[in-house]
Amino acid sequence: MEEKERMLKGELYSPNKSSILLNEMKRAKELCFKYNSIDLYSEIKNEIIEELFGHIGKGFHIEPYFWCDYGYNIFAGENLYINHNCVILDGARVEFGDNVFVAPNCGFYTAGHPINIDERNSGLEYAKPIKIGNNVWIGGNVVVLPGVTIGDNVTIGAGSVVNKDIPSNVVAVGNPCKVCKEL
């Protein structure tokens, strides 16, 4: 089985042993570099994101600097706004619903590494999907970790590390992120 197949199945894989993954990552980094280098209001920026992402709905805006690993695993609904310095490690699917607002310096990391030292040192990693619901606001400096689902109508407070699922209709904050208020 090729490393990309393992990655997409959520199994341990080695991205550095796959010419396919290395080429796809190179393509994504080149598109991100181009995106980050173009005039802020150029129509070409939208075309780059549409080429990069697996899907993106109408009414999106992504501030520079934006980086991702592959791009094709990112799926977004309508009215996505991502502020400056966002990183999406998309070895697995990253899904944003409609009306999602992401503050500066946020990271969405599907990638993780084994606890077993020998496996980790051999370059193995895994990827688990992230899903963000509709009408979600992610505060500044938030990190969302592999395998997390955030429900609809949620606010995640600034500085949170989201390592477990967050239900719909809540405000959640902290490290680790926990529900502090139901809406």
Spatial CB neighbours of 20, under 8 Å, sequence gap ≥ 6: 2, 3, 4
- For residue 72, the number of C-alpha atoms closer than 13 Å in the C-beta half-sphere is 10
CA–CA separation, 82 vs 36, rounded Å? Answer: 13
The pair of structure tokens assigned to 32 is: 């991100």
**d(C-alpha 132, C-alpha 4), whole Å:** 24
Q: How many whole angstroms separate alpha carbon 37 and alpha carbon 9?
A: 34
Q: Which residue type sits at 92?
A: A
Helix/strand/coil for 145: coil
Helix (H) or strand (E) holding 61: strand 61-62
Among candidate residues 55, 61, 84, 113, the one labeled active-site is: 113
**Edge-to-edge strands, sheet with 94-96:** 55-56, 74-76, 94-96, 130-132, 149-150
Per the annotation, the verdict on 61 as an active-site residue is: no
Cis peptide, bond prior to residue 114, ω within 30 of zero: no
Q: Just list the catalytic residues.
A: 113
